[in-house]
Structure 1
Amino acid sequence: MPDARYKGWMMSQSFSSPDPFSPHEDDTLRSLLRSILASVPDAMIVINEVGNIVAFSAAAERLFGYSAEDVAGKNIRVLMGGRDRSYHDTYISNYLETGEKQIIGIGRVVEARLANGDTIPVELKIGEAKLGEHRLFTGYVRDISKKQATEHRMRQMQAELGNFSRLSAVGTMASAMAHELNQPLTAVANYLEAARDLLTTPDPQTLEVVKEALDEASQQSIRAGQIIRRLRDYVSRGEIETRPTDIKTVLNDAASLAKIGVDGPMPRIVDSAPESLPEVMADRVQIQQVLVNLIRNASEAMGDMDQPMVWLEAELVDDGNEIEIRVRDNGPGLPEEADGEPFQPFNSSKPTGMGLGLSICQTIVDGHGGEMWCKSETGQGATFGFRLKTAPAKAVE
């Protein structure tokens, strides 16, 4: 299509009619546009460079409850909920200035605001078209509220089953530990009580018996320690099956999973890892668990900040033998009392936290042959990172 045909349309920032063409435009093109807007199955919305709506499909009218006349020329913010409503124009201006794509051609789940004020989750995909020196952005919107509700219920049931399994495992372990430790600890108590009673008559023969009792108590306490170590080794001996894994896909999936089931606003998550990274040797699900935990920790740490951000970063290190993955935020940083000890179990800065999340993350990374680390500066955010080995290059036949 010739650029000149659309130049007047692109330069306009508002419209009195949903038809972006003037009466002088070609009737065939106007008919074609109206046909597309009437028949496209998903809601389709076209905006210009300043975020104003220039086209609104019939499916969009049914989804949002607005007519095309209602929204023509208005800023796309009227259809947005959550943080995107406040920052959308900033997103456009940042893209026009830097060329950095955060959603164009990728898609994500966002919150849409309907004409009646309700909000629903939608899947948004955006395409871009250049007309001369100007741009159009076309958004395709699909309601996923029913799908998400079903998935949420499934996750709830899976979580309940998982919680039941964990409680059963903890109960079994507690019972086994109580049974195993009962005998040596009872023996220690008996020997010490006997030694205490014998010391009331401290003659040489009695002192010899006391010495034997203390020796036996010492042996039984060592036995109790060995039982605990054996149980700990049994628990931590989980096998990790690693295989070549696309780390970019894992990062994208983790960013999406971290948003699911979260009450309240989420920070803007920026995946800045390059597309060209080689595969890593990893258990995909377990590394996803690590990343989801780190993203949610960052989100909770930033609370009600005005512009919370989380960056997912990855780069080749060690001459290409490893990939370093980092989760960085612009929050308040770690509390001073937690500095250097964030991976210790039962060490949590959250009022309702158990302090096991980062410890579990470290155990998973350790199982992959890596080591977790963190950097934090008060008021400057925190960064958590770890490394994974790159997968061997595939042989060329």
Structure 2
Amino acid sequence: MRICAIPLKPGTLAEELGLLIDGATNYAIYMLDPQGYVTIWNRGAERIKGWTQAEIVGRHFSVFYQPRDIAADKPAADLVRAAAEGRLEEESWRVRRDGSEFFACVTMTALHDETGALRGFGKVVRDLTEQKAAETALARREEHLRSILETVPDAMIIIDEAGTISSFSAAAERLFGHVEADVIGRNVSVLMPEPDRGRHDGYLADYMGGGERKVIGRVRLVTGLRRNGETFPLELAVGEALVGDRRIFTGFIRDLTERRRTELRLQDLQSELIHVSRLSAMGTMASTLAHELNQPLTAVTNYLEGARGLLDDPTPETLALAREAMEDATAQSIRAGHIIRRLRDFVAHGAVSQRPEPLNLMVEEAAHLALIGARAAGVRVVTDYSSTDAMVRADRVQIQQVLVNLIRNAIQAMADTPRRILTIATCPVDDHMQVTITDTGGGIAPGVADRLFQAFASSKPEGMGLGLSICRTIVEAHGGAIWATALPDGTEFHFTLLRADLDDIDGG
């Protein structure tokens, strides 16, 4: 293969080489003699270092070094090293004509003639100040971000398209019990219990294939798996980003263990408070209940005493009367038993369990208990139950507690009024059933109306103001609402309960 050289006129090559060197304005290109004095200086060197060719040619290159480097005799050492090794490359600080410093990439090459004698040195210098500043700023931002991620309570995990973990924050280490080195490069499913572990890669593949967004951009409650095999509840939010042509997913994770424990404790305390409220309600009704129970028990005693007297000298007529007395005693004992059963059910401290219940029957049972002694107090009761015996999803004991509280409050509100009419009504409202208790009492005190359902708000001198607050807690826990309406001659209390779906009824 022949290589054809293009003939050049004398001096042309040197001129074109000079033009090429001067055109490289982003690089300081210059030459030194063997002792380090500048002999050639391009325009890039003028722009970067600040000296013109006339000012710098003939001066020693040590003027480009920092004072401390000059004191350490670094310029001479660099010449010796470049001559010995043939080439020197480094990144270090240099000085401009105005005394300012810049970070430079320096290449010094030893130049020899045909005999091997040292002719001087060629130097190429590139200003890296802006690049160094950008790298430093980036490093600082990364360090700042790393310090934030190491101190925030939420764990952060980054995975790639295949589910492989590429970043595992300090909070994630504390949360899952793994150190970052152990999980980097492993599939994120190692942090999940079954069946999520076996399904995760399939979910990810479906999404990458254009499937539905089930996790991205949403907050979900899921279960995590610690290194020791313990499972725990967590809140997961996943974000998606494109880095070049790669897709990454960042998961932010919050441990819900303490929150769940607190919620369970609050539920226990709430259940205990509701139970105490039932006992308190029974305490306020104690005298009325004692009177109501005393009537059937006294009747039973009288009937049995009479029957025993008739049996002292039995005849067909006395036996018939004794039998009738025994039947009456049985009826009265059953009546007392009903009262005791309602009390036992009402005061029962069982677990909260919402199930489909017939609303009208539930209201009627509670009314029987709450209205004990109402007739003797001159209260006339009017009922207006819905014609559709709708089912509601409720904890029967708790909702009956609401009913007893509202009915007893209504009776007390009418204690000093001449007209005493209590109305109990049920009716459907959209997907709820509504219960309304109406009295003809003196109404709600203006100072209490705005905070009627708040704890410790009461218009009764001896009241603690917990009854209506507990009623609101119970109703809202059932997905309903409770409110009061002022009337010209009384008050209406309303509350709603969700209707039970047919599936709930069938499943119940």
Task: Tell me the TM-score range normalised by the shorter chain.
Answer: 0.3 to 0.5
Question: What's the TM-score, normalizing by structure 2?
Answer: 0.35
Given the two structures, how large is their TM-score scaled by the length of structure 1? Answer: 0.43
Of the two, which has the highest radius of gyration?
Answer: 2
